[in-house]
Amino acid sequence: MKLKIQDIKGKDQGELEVKFQLITNGKGTQAVHDTVVAFRAGQRSGTACTKNVGEVAGTNKKPWKQKGTGRARAGSFRSPLWRGGGVVFGPKPRDFSKKVSHSTKQLSLRKALSERLSAGDVVVVDDLKLASAKTKEFISVMSALKLDGTALIVAQTVDRNLMLASRNVPNVHVATSDSLNTYQVLRSDKLVFTRSAFETIEARLSND
């Protein structure tokens, strides 16, 4: 499979042949699911916390005597039935992270990228160097590449001008080729790779 290479003005700069083997069958579907679920679970902070009867402030003294008042018997001010009392089976801090093997991550990334390549959602640019950090310049590049909707920019390294120019543009995200994951590949409508970044991804996928 060959991809057309463009410059930031949308002009053709040749072709790039995809070196890794694309997955065209159903293989890897479960790996994609497991990887995405694990990634999203890892984003949860897990800091929700409530106090049980033993942790809320209050005395152990009986609110009133057991008999003779005409009121229902009560043994503690900290009862879950009372306002300000403890919470029964409330959430406690926990770790939501899930473990996924390296081979599963590799397979899921290759599967996800294969699907996006087959759908024609991948754009490769020769380089993505901006002269300034102005958002206007970045928007002109987006227009030249005919990018509509959400987009993920994948560069070899974090470029300061690119990061600053793109951060005010809604639905546009920037990632590096070393940290690209399956969830990022599936999230956006279009994937924009620099040539060097795509070659790095190919090297990552050729090691599985």
185 and 130 share one domain: yes
120 and 17 share one domain: yes
120 and 153 share one domain: yes
According to the model, what pLDDT value does residue 49 have? 96
CATH number at residue 27: 3.40.1370.10
180 and 121 share one domain: yes
Percent of the chain whose pLDDT exceeds 70 = 99
Q: Would you say residue 208 has pLDDT above 70?
A: no
Overall number of domains in the chain: 2
Q: Which domain holds residue 130?
A: 2-45+99-205
The DSSP bridge partners found for residue 3 are 16
pLDDT in tens, 138-189: 999 989 988 888 999 999 888 899 999 999 899 999 999 999 999 999 999 9
54 and 39 share one domain: no
- Which of 16-20, 62-66, 198-202 shows the lowest per-residue confidence on average (mean pLDDT)? 16-20
H helices present in the chain, as ranges: 29-42, 102-118, 135-144, 160-166, 182-187, 195-205
55 and 126 share one domain: no
What 3-state class would DSSP assign to 56? Answer: coil
22 and 78 share one domain: no
More confident residue, 76 or 158: 76
According to the model, what pLDDT value does residue 17 have? 86
Q: pTM score, two decimals?
A: 0.82
Work out the angle between the directed axes of helices 29-42 and 102-118 (0-180°, nearest 10). 110
